[in-house]
């Protein structure tokens, strides 16, 4: 019985450690994107389409835990849809020098209150390599992770 409890404890500890590491590594994993020029008939010119690496494809439709910053797109309030960034507002893709792989759209199950502090959220990752009017990453059914 004691051996079984030790094994369960070790497995739980390992799973928590893996989850903690995954939280820190997700943005790094998402950076494994290249781009190819492709003609877009609607736009009438060539656009850069993302080509997701194996690391990114492996995360598609999986629940991920990710830490980052809310980028307010609809005022400073609680909202269910927002942009989430690996970097604070002043350094994000839209305002700073970061790339498009450092931001994602979020659809939360409940409104998440705006803060300038980093937060941790979890949800199911969706990839977008078709619609150039949307971000290439989207987190659906997102929820804030209480620390």
**Residue 131 falls inside a structural domain:** yes
- Residue 120: strand pairing partners: 67
Distances (CA, A) of 26 to 4, 64, 68, 111, 113: 32, 8, 10, 23, 23
- For 15-51, the pLDDT digits (tens) are 443 344 445 589 999 999 999 999 988 889 999 999 9
The number of domains in the chain is 1
CATH of residue 88's domain is 2.40.50
Q: pTM for this structure?
A: 0.77
Report whether 66 contacts 139 (CB < 8 A). Answer: yes
**Residue 41 falls inside a structural domain:** no
**Per-residue pLDDT at 89:** 72
**Residue 45 falls inside a structural domain:** no
**Residue 10 falls inside a structural domain:** yes
- For 99-146, the pLDDT digits (tens) are 889 999 999 999 999 898 999 999 999 999 999 889 999 999 999 998
């Amino acid at each position: 019985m004691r051996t079984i409890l030790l094994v369960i404890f070790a497995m739980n500890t390992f799973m928590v450690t893996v989850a903690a590491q995954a939280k820190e590594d997700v943005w790094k994993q998402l950076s494994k994107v290249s781009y190819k020029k492709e003609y877009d008939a609607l736009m009438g010119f060539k656009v850069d389409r993302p080509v997701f690496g194996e690391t990114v494809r492996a995360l598609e439709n999986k629940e991920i835990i990710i830490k980052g910053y809310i980028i307010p797109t609809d005022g400073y309030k609680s909202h269910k849809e927002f942009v989430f960034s690996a970097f604070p507002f002043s350094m994000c893709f839209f305002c700073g020098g970061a790339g498009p792989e450092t931001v994602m759209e979020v659809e939360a199950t409940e409104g998440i209150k705006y803060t300038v502090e980093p937060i941790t959220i979890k949800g199911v990752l969706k990839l977008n390599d078709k619609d150039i009017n949307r971000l290439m990453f989207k987190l659906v059914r997102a929820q804030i992770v209480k620390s």
